[in-house]
């Protein structure tokens, strides 16, 4: 069983909470828009024993403490690079899920030399390529909204096969204040790096649920076709909650991909 460490580090003046588990190739896990570092609690133990998983709370999330200043995806990408630097890693593997995948794209563009491999899960190169469900959700009653949101993330077949999935999803989410939520939303409202996908030279795995109703699988196909040499894996019958419902398959694919692009020098002296 992997030992787990819960720690804090100051990155660009922000007290950042993070978790590490396992030993070996460093893999940073970037959580989704409504998630937190614990989003990967059931996923991390499924990774290969030769991987050191690192999951942290982004700004306005969980136990990370930042001020009221606005930020964008580039700032969030730089936060990730700062955490990697503080942990003493020269190069790392990165997995970004949904919102975290948008950060991961910016990270690959801004800090290409720091990333050994990139895995993009259920994400998009442009917010304009996702389904805007705001009006549809607003028209539903509270109970209907809850069921609708659940159906976006987990398939009925998956929930029937593993009733614990709903509880796992509940633990993966975090409630934010209105101000924090507004800053998170503003950070992605202008997200569009479609014209720059060809600049991503990092070995890339695009991993997507074939039945994702939020980011359609055609978006994953678009992304993979434009990142040079990218590998595309579509998971049948899986919706937006790829690392939740398809955790075993995803962990196997991510482990294999990271280990096949192992870093030559995984650690440097940490900055003081």
Give the residue carrying structure tokens 């304009």.
128
Could you tell me if 188 and 33 are in contact, meaning their C-beta atoms sit under 8 angstroms apart? yes
According to DSSP, the residues that pair with 117 across neighbouring strands are: 93
Distances (CA, A) of 7 to 36, 37, 55: 14, 12, 11
Question: For residue 127, what pLDDT is reported?
Answer: 93
Could you tell me if 60 and 31 are in contact, meaning their C-beta atoms sit under 8 angstroms apart? no
Nearest-angstrom CA–CA distance, 106 and 84: 15
Question: For residue 2, what pLDDT is reported?
Answer: 60
Handedness of CA 150, 151, 153, 159 (dihedral sign): positive
Burial class (CB within 10 angstroms; exposed 0-12, middle 13-18, buried 19+) of 24: middle
Question: For residue 132, what pLDDT is reported?
Answer: 83
Nearest-angstrom CA–CA distance, 241 and 224: 19
Instruction: List the chain residues with pLDDT less than 50.
Output: 1, 265-272
Nearest-angstrom CA–CA distance, 217 and 213: 9
Q: How far apart are the first and last CA of the chain?
A: 31
* Dihedrals phi, psi of 268, to nearest 5 degrees: -130, 175
- Please state, as a whole number, how many other Cβ atoms lie within 10 Å of the Cβ of residue 194: 15
- All residues at 6 or more sequence positions from 134 whose CB lies less than 8 Å from its CB, including other chains: none
Question: For residue 271, what pLDDT is reported?
Answer: 32
Nearest-angstrom CA–CA distance, 2 and 52: 9
Strands, E assignment, 23-138? 25-30, 51-56, 92-97, 115-121
Question: For residue 233, what pLDDT is reported?
Answer: 98
Two structure tokens written together for 27? 């893999």
Ranges of each domain in the chain = 4-260
Question: For residue 269, what pLDDT is reported?
Answer: 35
Write down the pTM of the prediction.
0.94
Could you tell me if 36 and 102 are in contact, meaning their C-beta atoms sit under 8 angstroms apart? no
Q: pLDDT per residue over 31-76, tens digit each? A: 999 999 999 999 999 999 999 999 999 999 999 999 999 999 999 9
**Helix (H) / strand (E) containing 85:** helix 73-86
Could you tell me if 87 and 78 are in contact, meaning their C-beta atoms sit under 8 angstroms apart? no
Q: Of 173, 125, 126, whose CA–CA distance to 146 is shortest?
A: 173
Question: For residue 261, what pLDDT is reported?
Answer: 96
Question: For residue 146, what pLDDT is reported?
Answer: 83
Could you tell me if 119 and 254 are in contact, meaning their C-beta atoms sit under 8 angstroms apart? yes
Look at strands 25-30 and 92-97 and give their pairing.
Answer: parallel
CATH code that applies to domain 4-260: 3.40.50.1820
């Amino acid at each position: 069983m992997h030992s787990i460490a819960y720690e804090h580090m100051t990155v660009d003046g922000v007290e950042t909470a993070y978790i590490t588990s396992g030993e070996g190739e460093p893999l940073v896990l970037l959580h989704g828009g409504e998630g937190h570092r614990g989003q990967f609690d059931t996923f991390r133990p499924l990774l290969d024993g030769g991987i050191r998983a690192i999951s942290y709370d982004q700004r306005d999330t969980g136990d990370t403490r930042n001020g009221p200043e606005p930020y964008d995806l580039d700032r969030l990408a730089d936060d990730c690079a700062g955490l990697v630097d503080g942990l003493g890693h020269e190069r790392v593997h990165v997995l970004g899920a949904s919102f975290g995948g948008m950060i991961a794209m910016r990270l690959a563009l801004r800090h290409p030399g720091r990333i050994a491999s990139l895995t993009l899960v259920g994400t998009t190169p442009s917010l304009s390529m996702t389904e805007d469900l705001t009006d549809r959700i607003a028209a539903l009653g509270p109970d209907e909204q809850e069921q609708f949101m659940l159906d976006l993330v987990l398939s009925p077949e998956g929930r029937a096969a593993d009733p614990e999935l709903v509880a796992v999803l509940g633990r993966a989410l975090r409630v934010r204040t209105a101000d924090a939520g507004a800053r998170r939303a503003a950070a992605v409202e202008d997200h569009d790096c479609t014209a720059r996908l060809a600049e991503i030279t990092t070995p890339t795995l695009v991993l997507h649920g074939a039945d994702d109703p939020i980011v359609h699988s055609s978006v994953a196909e678009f992304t993979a076709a434009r990142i040079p040499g990218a590998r595309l894996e579509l998971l049948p019958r899986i919706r937006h909650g790829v690392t939740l419902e398809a955790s075993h398959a995803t962990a196997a694919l991510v482990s294999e991909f990271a280990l096949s692009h192992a870093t030559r020098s995984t650690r440097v002296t940490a900055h003081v």
